Structure 1
Amino acid sequence: APEPPAGVAAAEASAPEVPVGLKMRRLRQAAHETLEDVAQATAIPVSVLSTFERTSLGLSFKALHELARHFGTTVAAISGQEDYDQRESLVRSGAWATWPPTSPGVTVQALARGQTLMECHRFQLAPGASSEGTYEHEGEEFLHVLTGSLEIVLDGDKFFVLEAGDSFYFESRRPHAWRNACGQETVVIWINTPSSF
C-alpha cells in the first residue's frame, strides 16, 4: 500500500481531538486511495469503512488493526497515545488515556504515554467482547489477567483459557484471537513490544 507522507501521518496521529474515523479518512486521502482501494487491500467492506470514517464506530478490533497497518501506522499512534515526548511516564490510577471506542465491549486504556518501545495497555472486556477475528503483527506480547477470564486462540488450533492471576507470552506474528467468554467483565494488562500494535 502506498504510504502517506511521514509528516501527514505524524500530524494526523498526534491530534487527539480529531475523531479516529476522520484521521483514517485523512490518511486514506493523503495516500490518494478510494474507499474501494482500501476495501480491496484490507477485505473490510466499503460500507463498513464509510461508516467508520463518518462515525468512528462499527469497526472490529481486528479490522482497526488491519486498517492501521495498511496505512503504515499503529492503532496506538492513531489513538493519540504517542503524543507525548518525554523520557518517563507517570500515569495515575484512573487517569488512563482511553482509545477511541470502536469494538463493542472493548475499552483500551494506555498505561504509559509517549513513544515507548513497549505499548502498555489495560483492556476492559465486557462479557462476549472479542477481537472479532484473527490478526497478527510484528513483535511480542505479554498479558496478565487481573479479573475474569480470557480465551486465546493461537495459530488457529491452540486454545488457552486464562483465569485471574494467569500470565501469557507469545510472539505477535503468530495468528491470534481472543474473547471474554465468562459472564463478567475481564480486565487484562496487555503489553506489546516493539510499538507495532
Structure 2
Amino acid sequence: MAGTVSSVGKSSVSSIGTAIRDRRRGLGLTLQGLASGSGLSVPFLSQVERNLAHPSLLSLEAIARALDVDIDYFVGVPTPGQIVCRADEHDRIELNSPVIYERLSGRHAERKMEALRLIVPPGLEAPMVHREGEGFWYILSGTLEMCVGKKKFELHAGDSAHFDQRHPYSMRNIGDTEVRMIWVGTPAIFKDG
C-alpha cells in the first residue's frame, strides 16, 4: 500500500471526514495536534473533516496512525459482533447498585448512544441527577415514577419518556414488583467497547 496515491472513493468520504473529526475530538486533540501527529497541514485536515477534500490512502494512513487506529477504522465494515447483540450476549454492567444494567447496544468503541435494559427493584428511589445528552425511557413492566425538574410523571408498561437529561431528573419504583425498562441515551456512557 505504501506508494499508493489513489484517493478514497467519494461515496465513503463523508463518513470518513465525520469519523476523523469524532475520533480526534474523542481523544481531545486539536486540529493542530492531529496535524503534528500526521505530518499533514491544518487547512487540509479541516477540509477533510468538512468533506471538502478527499484524502489519499497515504494521507488516511498518516491520520489513522496519529489517531491510534487502524485504517480499517475509517473504511472497514463493522463486524457482526459489533453490530448485533444476541439475546444471550447482553453484557451485565457491574455498578455496585441494586439496579441491574444490561447493555443492549453494539460493541463498537465510537458509538454515540447507549441502550440499556434496567431492572429496578420495588421501592427503589434514585436520587435527582442530570447529565449531558438526551434520554429515552420505555417501560416494559411495572410502574415507575419520574420527576423531571418539578414535573412528576407516572409511567406504566408501554409508556415512554424522552427528554434532555441536562434537566435534573429522578426515578422511583412505586409498585410492588420490579420495573423492567429500556433506556437509550446520548452520549454513550460506558466506553469499554
Q: TM-score, normalised by structure 1?
A: 0.52
Instruction: Check 1:161–1:94 CA distance in 2 against 1; reply closer, same or farther (3 A cut).
Output: farther
Cα separation, 1, equivalents of 2:185 and 2:87: 21
Q: Does 1:164 align with 2:157?
A: yes
Task: Show structure 1 runs of 5+ residues with no match.
Answer: 1-5, 7-85
Match of 1:114 among 108, 113, 116: 108
Cα separation, 2, equivalents of 1:101 and 1:129: 15
Match of 1:193 among 182, 186, 193: 186
Task: Tell me if structure 2 keeps the 8 A contact 1:150–1:179.
Answer: yes
Match of 1:89 among 75, 80, 83: 83
1:34-57 Cα deviation digits (max 9, x unpaired): xxxxxxxxxxxxxxxxxxxxxxxx
Task: Tell me if structure 2 keeps the 8 A contact 1:137–1:196.
Answer: no
Instruction: Check 1:109–1:170 CA distance in 2 against 1; reply closer, same or farther (3 A cut).
Output: same
Larger Rg: 2
Secondary structure of 1:144's aligned partner: strand
Q: Does 1:137 align with 2:131?
A: yes
Aligned residues: 111
Q: CA deviation at 1:194?
A: 2.0
- In the other structure, the counterpart of 1:149 is 143
1:58-90 Cα deviation digits (max 9, x unpaired): xxxxxxxxxxxxxxxxxxxxxxxxxxxx46421
1:1-52 Cα deviation digits (max 9, x unpaired): xxxxx7xxxxxxxxxxxxxxxxxxxxxxxxxxxxxxxxxxxxxxxxxxxxxx
Match of 2:94 among 93, 100, 112: 100
TM-align CA RMSD: 2.0
Q: CA deviation at 1:196?
A: 4.6
- In the other structure, the counterpart of 1:179 is 172
Q: CA deviation at 1:103?
A: 1.8
